[in-house]
Amino acid sequence: MFFLLFKLNSLQKALRVILFYVLYCVINDGLSFYLQIIGSKSIFILLYSFTIVEYSFFCYFIYLVLPKNFRKNIVTIAWFSFLLFALLDYILLNKSEGFDSFTSGVESIIILLLCIYYLFSQIKGSNSLLIYSTFNFWVVIAFFIYFAGTFFLYLFTDKMGNSLTFQKIYLIINTSFNILKNILLSVAMTMKLNDTINPQKTVIPNLDDDLFIKTK
């Protein structure tokens, strides 16, 4: 809705990545709800694929918004390494028999580190005091808060998922941070798209030359 209101005519790649990510989340949640109702075990495959696709969306976004003077190949290496790790974990360890807690935990750690890397790149720049007014900043903050808040939740889901008490806690925490993430992404849609803000020019007032003329 916020995209239609504020950024419909924009063609910036980073914005489109977040738009498709949100649409993918909506479709995935709908399918997960349906598979849970019918009691299908395919829901674990869906959750596993969501972890990989979500991570890929974020890596591509970070790759697009990082400044040119920063090493973008770090993001490529992080994406490929996690993809290989997730596939090996699925084939050799998990085998779609439960929630991918370990993979989700690793995903959260890497995304948090990439968020810190992006914020560090902005602090090193000359625009560090104005980054809060950009689209990229609010997207990164949304992901940072979401994964920081759900890290331990996902980590313990595999071991405690059968507990009714834990299921209630999981529902409350996961839903709360999902709502917060979507609110921050909505705020991002109202911000400037360009990540480069022209630094404020220092205005030097014209001084009256007569002040410097020595009195005889």
Q: What is the pLDDT of residue 211?
A: 44
pLDDT one-digit tens code per residue, 206-216: 544 454 455 54
The candidate with the shortest Cα–Cα distance to 117, out of 177, 75, 164, 170, is: 75
53-107 pLDDT per residue, tens: 999 999 999 999 888 777 888 899 999 999 999 888 877 766 556 667 788 889 9
Average pLDDT of the residues of the chain: 80
Crossing angle of helices 42-65 and 13-38, rounded to 10° = 170
Instruction: Give the distance, in angstroms, between the CA of residue 115 and the centroid of all CA atoms in the same chain.
Output: 7
More confident residue, 21 or 48: 21
Q: Quote the pLDDT of residue 2.
A: 77
**Per-residue model confidence (pLDDT) at position 199:** 40
DSSP character string of 151-188: HHHHHHHHHHTT-HHHHHHHHHHHHHHHHHHHHHHHHH
pTM tops 0.85: no
pLDDT, position 92: 76
| CB-based contact 6:190 (threshold 8 Å) | yes
Q: Provide the residue ranges of all domains of the chain, joining segments of one domain with +.
A: 2-194
Question: Tens digits of per-residue pLDDT, 93-110?
Answer: 665 566 677 888 899 999
Place of tokens 């390494």: 81
Over residues 127-150, the mean pLDDT reads 85
In the chain, % helix, strand, coil (3-state, to 5) comes to 75, 0, 25
